[in-house]
Amino acid sequence: MAIVGGSIAGLTTAILLGQLDIEVRVFERQAPGGEPRGAGVGIDLDLLAAVTGYIDTAPPYIRLRERRVVVEGRTQAERVEIPVTAHHLLRAFLHERIAPRKIVAPAEVVGLNLHEVEPLRLAFADGHQERFDVVVGADGARSVIRAGVVGEPLLPEYAGYVLWRGLLDEAALSPEARGWLFDVPALIVAPHARQQFVAYPVPGPAGEVEPGERRLAWGWYYGIHPDRLGHELELVGRRGEDIAPAECSPAILEDLQASANPHWPPAIQEVVERSLERGSLALHPVHELAVPRLARSGAVLIGDAAHVTSPITGSGVRAAMYDALVLIRALVDLQRIDAALGVYETRRISLARALVEQGRSAGWGFRLGY
């Protein structure tokens, strides 16, 4: 069995298959130890226990104690319990639970040849091909496996708004801002006139959770008309990554400066200013895609390859891990690949659509800002 993509969905699948002694190889385009994505993500500790088979095992995380909503200078807080980590720490945690020989990296897959009666063939960037009975496409939002499963190339579309996101060292902030943002670890949400700012503490780059060594993950959503984003959308289409401020056109950077909300608490103003000074922010034009088919002739899509939803839902990681669990449970229960993939598709496709729809509903108001 082959898994294309060694991130959240692919690694979760490999862990579960390892528990069943099923031979698997994970092909990952990124070299080991490559650039971490660095975003903050919520983690579901029960789900992690279901995947690893152990309770109380998790990557380093911070427990958010409060949800603090700031509107026009007024603050409302409610108690919550949300464990959060950073994307690269969760990924490293999953990676450690797989025998190194099962992960082939860097190895870029460029296509899937799918015949109804022959084994599946993966084509690699170095020109060689390999045959497999089952291929799991866990290769993210710009999946190359998706075209084989769906029957035509299908890519996510710009949702009409962007997310500026950043990661800032706690130590880079003034004592006042640090106190407001870190003393009670909180999910801070500041909605304002067709925009939304969110921020919360996450562990430091190597998993540090001690005061002074943590980081602040933040995101700022607002609408930008697609015509203003031509160059940036072309960049995302070509390489599928976030865009550094230096790569943005001057008009987009002017938007950023002009959109700062005068009603934000000083700590939020400071976070954006410090991040701009240090270049520790990136533009992410939000993209979405509901995929009409998840399985075909031994090939199956999971995670972002199967559904691209707006980050505003905060649910991509959880959905990717659930996809893997549902897929492997279907394989165990049915013991036949075609039947199991059919059951997986039936169970997950409406959830996948609902997830994308949830993002569309949460984000539609941002588009009214232009």
Ligand X SMILES: Cc1cc2nc3c(=O)[nH]c(=O)nc-3n(C[C@H](O)[C@H](O)[C@H](O)COP(=O)(O)OP(=O)(O)OC[C@H]3O[C@@H](n4cnc5c(N)ncnc54)[C@H](O)[C@@H]3O)c2cc1C
**Residues 315-334 close enough to bind ligand X by CB under 6 A:** 315-318, 320
Nearer residue to ligand X within complex by CB, 67 or 334: 67
Binding residues for ligand X, how many (CB under 6 A)?
Answer: 35
Report the nearest approach of ligand X to the CB of residue 238 (Å): 14
According to the binding rule CB under 6 A, does residue 88 interact with ligand X? no
Among 16, 17, 27, 272, binds ligand X (CB under 6 A): 27
Nearer residue to ligand X within complex by CB, 165 or 274: 165
According to the binding rule CB under 6 A, does residue 165 interact with ligand X? yes
Nearer residue to ligand X within complex by CB, 283 or 331: 283
According to the binding rule CB under 6 A, does residue 9 interact with ligand X? yes
Among 95, 178, 214, 284, binds ligand X (CB under 6 A): 284
Nearer residue to ligand X within complex by CB, 259 or 309: 309
**Residues 52-81 close enough to bind ligand X by CB under 6 A:** none
CA dihedral sign of residues 267, 178, 284, 257: positive
According to the binding rule CB under 6 A, does residue 139 interact with ligand X? yes
Report the nearest approach of ligand X to the CB of residue 362 (Å): 13
Among 1, 2, 4, 181, binds ligand X (CB under 6 A): 4
Report the nearest approach of ligand X to the CB of residue 42 (Å): 6
According to the binding rule CB under 6 A, does residue 358 interact with ligand X? no
According to the binding rule CB under 6 A, does residue 202 interact with ligand X? no
Report the nearest approach of ligand X to the CB of residue 119 (Å): 19
What does the binding site for ligand X look like in residue numbers (CB under 6 A)? 4-10, 27-30, 39-42, 87, 108-109, 138-141, 144, 163, 165, 284, 303-304, 311, 314-318, 320
